[in-house]
Amino acid sequence: MSNDDKDLEARLEAHAQAAEKAANNAKKFSGQAAQSKKDAQAAEKAAVEARSAALQAQEGAQAAREAAERARDEVGKARDEVGKARDEVGKARTEVLAARDDVMAAKARPMESSTSMHALGWALVDTIAMVARTDADDAIHEAADAVMRAARATDPVLAARGGAREGYEHVLTLASRFSADQELERLEAKARQLLDHAELEAEAAAGALAAARARQQAAGSKRAALDELVESRLAERGSEPHVGELRTELLGARQEVVAEALGAEESSAQAEESARRAGDALEQLQEIVREAAVLHPVSREVPINTRDDIRSLFFGRLGEAGAPSVAAPATDEAPTTPGSSTAPAGSSAPSEGAEGSPEPSDEPAAVEQPQPWYWWQPVDARGIPSGALVAGEFSERGEPFFAARIEHRGGVHMGKVWGQFGEAHVPYGGVDVVTRKYAVLMARREAPLSWVPAAGGHVPKGAVQGGHESNGAALYVARAPYGGDGTHPGKVRPGFGGANIPWGGKEVRVDPYEVLVFDAARAAELERGEPTPAVDEGPAPIMAER
């Protein structure tokens, strides 16, 4: 072997050893890398666990802080409660000391203490008596108001029964006369049913009203007995007051008054309800009478042809309750027969005072006035008719006022209207009632009518009656200047204290005023054709011209 081969072999051997050594090193480093990887994974896991522990520690710290806050609050509340308890103890101590002082003072003044207790007991009895009387008076006043309302509702219904029967008889007469008219037959059956129902309800209302008045009277008697009891017990002031017994006795007497008063109110409510049902039936019956009259207006036996006539029939004629007549009911035109007439304007009727009772009257005596001189005419689509009596002046517009009247709340009330197609304004219940359904006062040009000054509720002789209250008290045509814008027509009756006119949306009372008066004596002279005397008879009415 040559030297070169030997050198090459030696170098190869060296390289082989170096490669083996490198392989061993690589194997060693590979094992170290695997271990490092395991160490890294363990470190990462430890880091995650550390983070979780840190979060738990943070949450625990927050809970600890919150618990500490709550503990501080509870300690504060407990401190407050302790303070309050300390205050209560202090107050109790003060009261105990004051009570001790009172006891000591009472022991020092035994006679004075006894006298004070005696006076205190009777003062308490006085208070109980005052309360009993006041409660009883309040109950009686409420019962009186209820009875008055019931009477106002019941009386017109009772007054209308006679007229309602006449209305039904009118329908029955027409149904018998025109027996082939099935519509009349139906109206007659319905009218008979309504009349029976109205009479039953009217009787029920009258009975309930009588019961209410009896209970009201009983309440008054028991109120007088309460006064006697109070006076007899208070006369015993010299003796020891038995407050408990006296209280029971006085309040028991008060309760008897209240029970009777409540009974009067209940009966009054029943009367009002029955009267309302009767009134509804009468209104329906009235409408049937009107329908029958429209079907056969030529009936001469019972010449009813306007709604005003029918209303007058129901609420104007002298019926069982004595309701007075309505003056000059409306007709479609002025009658030409001098002898024909209706209930006279100005006929006497009981005036209505503050509580509906008649009062001494300077109301004029009844004056028989023939209808042809003036009448009330319903206004239709043609507007204010020619011949309407000018009853005032609307100076602000330069237009005349005419006297108007309407049916309202069981009565017939007067007011004013202006303009060819105006609305009627009528004073009632403190307000201005506005409606397009009304009648206007008509008169012949030569009618002996004049406006007479009056004041204080005075109604001169011959005053023209235009309507009535729901209780039948007569209302007269009046007028008065007011508001600086004209002279306004309205109504008056004894007891008003002035004329009531509509103005500014309200019912206004004006004093002095003027009343429309009809001169019956002069009318008779004119009927006989006697000349008109040359004397001043006051401002004469003016008639509307077309």
**Binning pLDDT at 50, 70 and 90, where does residue 516 land?**
very high
User: What is the structure's pLDDT at 421?
Assistant: 67
Distance between CA atoms of residues 235 and 256, nearest Å: 22
CA distances from 329 to 19, 215, 309, 390, 459 (A): 148, 40, 6, 19, 21
Residue 245 exposure: Cα atoms within 13 Å on the Cβ side: 4
Mean pLDDT is highest, among 217-231, 233-247, 296-310, for 217-231
Asked whether the predicted pLDDT for residue 380 surpasses 90, the reply is: no
Asked whether the predicted pLDDT for residue 339 surpasses 70, the reply is: no
Taking the model in full, what pTM does it have?
0.38
Identify the three-state secondary structure at position 406: strand
Question: For the ranges 101-105, 138-142, 355-359, which has the lowest average pLDDT?
Answer: 355-359
Identify the three-state secondary structure at position 483: coil
Radius of gyration of the chain, Cα coordinates, nearest whole angstrom: 51
Mean pLDDT, residues 244-262? 85
Asked whether the predicted pLDDT for residue 307 surpasses 70, the reply is: no
Q: Which fold has domain 112-310?
A: Ferritin (1.20.1260)
User: What is the structure's pLDDT at 358?
Assistant: 37
User: What is the structure's pLDDT at 116?
Assistant: 62
Mean pLDDT, residues 418-433? 87
Mean pLDDT, residues 238-248? 74
User: What is the structure's pLDDT at 493?
Assistant: 93
CB atoms within 10 A of CB 255: 15
Q: Which residues contact 223 (CB under 8 A, 6 or more apart)?
A: 136, 137, 140, 257
Asked whether the predicted pLDDT for residue 404 surpasses 50, the reply is: yes
Asked whether the predicted pLDDT for residue 338 surpasses 70, the reply is: no
Bigger pLDDT: 166 vs 302: 166
Q: pLDDT digits over 114-167, tens only?
A: 556 667 777 777 788 788 888 888 888 888 888 989 888 888 888 887 778 888
User: What is the structure's pLDDT at 530?
Assistant: 65
Average pLDDT, the chain: 76
Q: pLDDT digits over 430-483, tens only?
A: 889 999 899 999 999 899 999 999 999 899 999 999 999 988 899 999 999 998
**Binning pLDDT at 50, 70 and 90, where does residue 238 land?**
low
User: What is the structure's pLDDT at 102?
Assistant: 65
Distance between CA atoms of residues 358 and 349, nearest Å: 9
Distance between CA atoms of residues 339 and 386, nearest Å: 24
**Binning pLDDT at 50, 70 and 90, where does residue 364 land?**
very low
Bigger pLDDT: 356 vs 167: 167
User: What is the structure's pLDDT at 438?
Assistant: 94
Domain boundaries, the chain: 1-106, 112-310, 333-543
Mean pLDDT, residues 321-335? 33
